[in-house]
């Protein structure tokens, strides 16, 4: 019977001697970050921080396992420069080990253009505003062409065209809070295309309309020509 406690004690000592101690691996990575970020890494054991004799493997994945950043170093690096990260949801995995200790850290991070995220309601609202801005800009582009040909442009038509262009600007800014670049990319394309067609062209159409109407009538151009409405009615 005396041999049983000794056997148990020997088993405990043996299991402890072959069990690796755990390292505490931490970073300053927030839940959401911008596309450029300085990642600080800290590794410690039960008694102190460790900066020598340690190997670390840092991997930042996004999408279907695509690597956005990777660093394997046998000499400890406390700072990592993450630059030009893809917008989206990332997984940051940090693994560090010494001769007899090992530690891991896994974090889920959302990378956005601004470094901040928005709620589901706001994300849905931004998509809705984007669709409205696209449809509005396309419809008013067609109207501008028609009014340019018929010389029937008004101030209200110009302001309405500008309004939908401004809406697209707002959508482009708000898209910086999303974890997808679709709206950002598409809104930038529309803004570049519509800068002339929906901002400059309406003014040209209005000037041509006023010039044509001014040459056809013998009185100065008034409110009715600019607005398309008779103020006396």
pLDDT at 220 over 60: no
Higher pLDDT, 233 or 82: 82
Residues 6+ apart with CB under 8 A from 94: 25, 27, 41, 56, 57, 58, 104, 105, 106
**pLDDT tens sequence across 50-60:** 888 899 999 99
**pLDDT tens sequence across 64-90:** 778 999 999 888 888 999 998 999 889
From CA 58, how far away is CA 68, in angstroms rounded? 11
- Mean of pLDDT values over 38-48: 90
Give the DSSP H or E segment for 194.
helix 182-195
């Amino acid at each position: 019977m005396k041999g049983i406690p000794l056997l148990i004690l020997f088993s405990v000592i043996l299991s402890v001697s072959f069990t690796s101690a755990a390292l505490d691996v931490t970073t300053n990575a927030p839940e959401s970050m911008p596309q450029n970020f300085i990642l600080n890494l800290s590794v410690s054991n039960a008694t102190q921080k460790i900066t020598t004799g340690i190997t670390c493997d840092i991997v930042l994945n996004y999408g279907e396992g695509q690597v956005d950043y990777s660093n394997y170093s046998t000499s400890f690096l406390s700072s990592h420069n993450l630059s030009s990260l893809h917008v989206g949801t990332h997984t940051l995995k940090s693994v560090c080990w010494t001769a007899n200790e090992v530690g891991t850290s896994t974090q889920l991070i959302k990378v956005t253009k601004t470094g901040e995220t928005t709620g589901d309601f706001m994300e849905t609202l931004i998509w809705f505003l984007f669709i409205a801005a696209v449809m509005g800009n396309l419809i008013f582009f067609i109207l501008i062409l028609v009014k340019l040909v018929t010389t029937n442009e008004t101030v209200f038509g110009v302001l309405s065209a500008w309004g939908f262009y401004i809406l697209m600007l707002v959508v482009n800014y708000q898209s910086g809070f999303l974890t997808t670049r679709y709206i950002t990319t598409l809104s930038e394309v529309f803004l570049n295309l519509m800068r002339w067609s929906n901002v400059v062209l309406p003014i040209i159409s209005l000037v041509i309309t006023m010039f044509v109407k001014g040459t056809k009538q013998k009185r100065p151009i008034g409110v009715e020509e600019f607005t398309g409405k008779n103020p006396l009615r």
